[in-house]
Structures are given as structure tokens and as C-alpha cells.
Chain A
Amino acid sequence: MAELIDFLIISAILVAVGIYGLIVKRNAIRMLIGIEIIANAANLSLVAFSRSLPNAQGQVFALFSIAIAAAEVAVGLGLVIVAHRLYKEIDVAEFRSMRG
């Protein structure tokens, strides 16, 4: 059986990978994928602590976090579609002006 520290180390690795994607990639959809990876690392450590304490509130928080992440992806992809319609491009370095 794996221990708590193993799950936390996997969570830390996923956070680092997500931050790497956020700072290196300039494609807007790929940056959203990086955000999803970071959010999932947070969920993993919430559930791991919830299992080891043991306390059900960590799992409740993880459920809320998953639902909020789904809402965030919906709005983020809507923004990507609008930006692609305006600029014909989803490279965030090309979004120079904020005017519609």
C-alpha cells in the first residue's frame, strides 16, 4: 500500500509540469490544459490528506473543486473561441490589443 508522502510527491510533480506548460506554451488551449493539470494535482493532495486524517471534508472539497474547474474550462474555451474569431489566432502573444 502506498503511503501519503507518495501521493503528495506525485501531486508536486504534476504541479511542476503544469507550471512548465503555463510558462512555456503560448497556445491558449494548451495553457488551459496546464491549468487543468495543476487543478488535478490540488484535488489529488486534498483527497490524499482526506484519506490519511481521516476526514470526509477533504473529499467534499475535492468534489466542489472539480465542479468549479468544469465551469472555468467552459468560460475559458468560450474566450478562446472569441479570441480566435477576432484575431484568427490562438497564440497568446498575438493578442496585442484588448479592444473588441
Chain B
Amino acid sequence: MADPVFIGVAVLTVGSAIFALETRELIYAAIALAISMLGIAGFFLLLDAPFVAMFQIAVYVGAVAVLIIFAVMLVSTKALFTPREDKKRKGAGIVLMLIIMASLGAILLASGLNGQFGNFNESQAIDFREIGEQMLTYYAPTLIILGLTLAGSVIAALALARREDVTTASGGEEQHHGRAD
């Protein structure tokens, strides 16, 4: 039914996702998140979507994980550890996780999807030219709005993280002196 490649990628993805949430050091958590994203990209390759897999690797492993690692470096080391962890809260979280897992799994198994769309034929693989065509014709306004959203959010992140007290105090005065001379 399920081939060994699928099982290996599934174990890698879920295991590193759990490790990313459970390890005590945030820098290992960021690396484990990158490995989990690589596992998701492996699933995309198994689903004959190499373009989405390359996009996933470029954005998640290349940008998001590195961004999290840089944020971890900027945060002081004292704040990175969580020495006290509420046992009761953790137990309740695990119980809720198992309930969600079991109920979603029961819904999926009862939904009739099992075996109905099961056969992935080789001839049905989606060409990436079709994705490009859809993006540039039907989804062209969405693509433009997406670009504007990305630009706006990057500018917003820069404006949030900027410290006006330090930069204007030193840089502004030097410029002023330079002009006066």
C-alpha cells in the first residue's frame, strides 16, 4: 500500500516537527523546522509537483528558517530557555493533540476518499507550464496583489525592527557636522 519512501519521508517530517517543538534550544528548533520543511518538499516531489517543491525549498529552507535563526541570534540568551514548563498544561496539550489527530483521522477514513481517488497515474501529472499559464492569465491580479502584500510586509517588518534612537543620534549628527565643515 504505502511504499517505504513515503514512510521514510513521513517519519522524517513528523519527527522533526515534534523535535522542533520539544527541543530546549531554539537554534536546534529552527534547524529541525528546516528539515521538516525539506520533508514536505519531498512529499511534493512524491506528488509530482517539482515546481512547488523547489519553491518550498527556496522560501522555507532558504528564507524562513534563516530568518528564524537570525531572530534567535538577536534575542538574548537568557530569554531563549524555558526553565519552567507546566506539566499539567503539557499533559492537556498532548491529550488535545491526540483528540484532534484521532477525530481528523476518523473523519478522513469515513469520508469515502479512501480508495476513490487513490490511483495516481503517470499520465495525470500536472505540467508546470499549466501553473505558469494559470498564474499569468486567470490569477494575474492575485499575483500583483501578492507582490504588493510581500513588499508591504517586508517594509512593515523593517519599520518594526528599526531603532530610531540609536541610528538617528549617531548618523544624523555626523552628517550635520560634515555639512557644517
**Contacts from A to B (Cβ < 8 Å):** 1-10, 12-21, 23-27, 29-30, 32-34, 36-37, 40, 43-44, 47-48, 50-57, 59-60, 62-64, 66-75, 77-82, 84-85, 88-91
Residue in contact with A75 in the complex, picked from B43, B109, B153, CB distance below 8 Å? B153
| B2 CB → nearest A CB, Å | 5
Which residue from chain B places its CB closest to the CB of A48 in the assembled complex? B47
CA distance A89 to B161 in the complex (A): 15
Q: Which residues of B (43-69) have their CB < 8 Å from a CB of A? A: 43-44, 46-49, 51-52, 55-56, 59-60, 63-64, 67-68
Residues of A within 8 A of B98 (CB): 16
0/1 string, B115-131, CB within 8 A of A gives 1: 10111100011110011
Whether A2 pairs with B26 at a CB distance below 8 angstroms is no
> Known contacts being A63-B55, A91-B79, is A16 close to B29, with CB within 8 Å?
no
Residue in contact with A69 in the complex, picked from B64, B72, B75, B115, CB distance below 8 Å? B64
Whether A70 pairs with B131 at a CB distance below 8 angstroms is no
Residue in contact with B149 in the complex, picked from A15, A51, A68, CB distance below 8 Å? A68
| A51 CB → nearest B CB, Å | 4
CA distance A62 to B67 in the complex (A): 21
Whether A51 pairs with B96 at a CB distance below 8 angstroms is no
Residue in contact with B105 in the complex, picked from A3, A12, A36, CB distance below 8 Å? A12
> Known contacts being A30-B29, A34-B21, A59-B131, is A19 close to B146, with CB within 8 Å?
no
Residue in contact with B126 in the complex, picked from A6, A59, A70, CB distance below 8 Å? A59
> Known contacts being A4-B113, A78-B160, A81-B71, is A26 close to B126, with CB within 8 Å?
no
CA distance A23 to B92 in the complex (A): 9
Residue in contact with B3 in the complex, picked from A1, A10, A71, CB distance below 8 Å? A1
CA distance A65 to B131 in the complex (A): 14
Residues of A within 8 A of B160 (CB): 75, 78-79, 81-82
Whether A66 pairs with B36 at a CB distance below 8 angstroms is no
Residue in contact with B68 in the complex, picked from A4, A16, A66, A77, CB distance below 8 Å? A77
Residues of B within 8 A of A47 (CB): 43-44, 47, 49, 52
Assess whether B157 is interfacial by the CB under 8 Å rule: yes
Residues of A within 8 A of B67 (CB): 73-74, 77
CA distance A53 to B20 in the complex (A): 33
| B120 CB → nearest A CB, Å | 6
Residue in contact with B13 in the complex, picked from A10, A64, A79, A85, CB distance below 8 Å? A10
Which residue from chain A places its CB closest to the CB of B123 in the assembled complex? A54
